[in-house]
Chain A
């Protein structure tokens, strides 16, 4: 079946531009997570949703980062006034379990590689 999809796969932005990254989770999955993966590092948690509710946004690095999931399905991560340090792969994951469930198998998408020039 279809897995988690993300678009675009690659995005090049000039410093100061706004970008929007899209995540299509596995159909029916309740929880959706965003992670940021710098080159050569492990993914770092940004935020997560349970249905349309954003339950934890403690990992968002600044107020330039904003995420939404208005209908409890597709999610968008928006970065305003991009900076060079925002360059990374942005990963989306979804899970059929509630967001706070500890045994929460998360299925990852291929990521969006953002390069800020």
Chain B
């Protein structure tokens, strides 16, 4: 019940395309949903986050869509660029600690 399931495991997108990563959870006690970006050899960096009382949040090319009733949320990266190539993790917070998804390795082809 503490799990966060993330898909797909890997994703290849052409430059300029839209990248979509999906996550699902079971525990309704989760109260904050951040997305992290991680480059090889680096720690995760916060990209964007959403609270469960909001259905969508947009920051630049990055948008989170949140469906509370379905217990699902997704990250959309518009106009994907080669520099976006990284591993993306969704997460859910409970009592401040983060439960991470398994990660999506995104490759944006020029």
Contacts and interface: CB of A to CB of B under 8 A. Distances in A.
Are A and B co-members of a single complex? yes
Interface of A: 4, 31, 33, 35, 40-45, 48, 56, 59, 91, 93, 95, 97-111
B11 interface: no
B107 to A, nearest CB: 15
A103 B96 CA distance: 7
A39 to B, nearest CB: 11
B32 to A, nearest CB: 5
A102 B43 contact: no
Contacts of B43: 4, 91, 93, 108-111
Given A4-B43, A109-B43, A110-B42, A102 B32 contact: yes
Contacts of B34: 105
Nearest to A47: B97
The interface residues of chain A, by DSSP majority, are classed as loop
Contacts of B93: 102-104
B100 A104 contact: no
B46 to A, nearest CB: 6
Interface string B41-75: 11111100101000000000000000000000000
Nearest to A97: B96
Contacts of A105: 34, 46, 49
Interface of B: 6, 31-32, 34, 36, 41-46, 49, 51, 89, 91, 93-103
Contacts of B95: 56, 100, 102
Given A43-B44, A91-B43, A103 B103 contact: no
27 contacts: A4-B43, A41-B103, A42-B91, A42-B100, A43-B89, A43-B98, A43-B100, A45-B97, A45-B98, A45-B99, A48-B97, A59-B97, A91-B43, A91-B44, A93-B43, A98-B96, A99-B96, A101-B96, A102-B93, A102-B94, A102-B95, A103-B51, A104-B96, A106-B46, A108-B36, A110-B41, A110-B42
Contacts of A98: 96
B96 A48 contact: yes
B44 A108 contact: yes
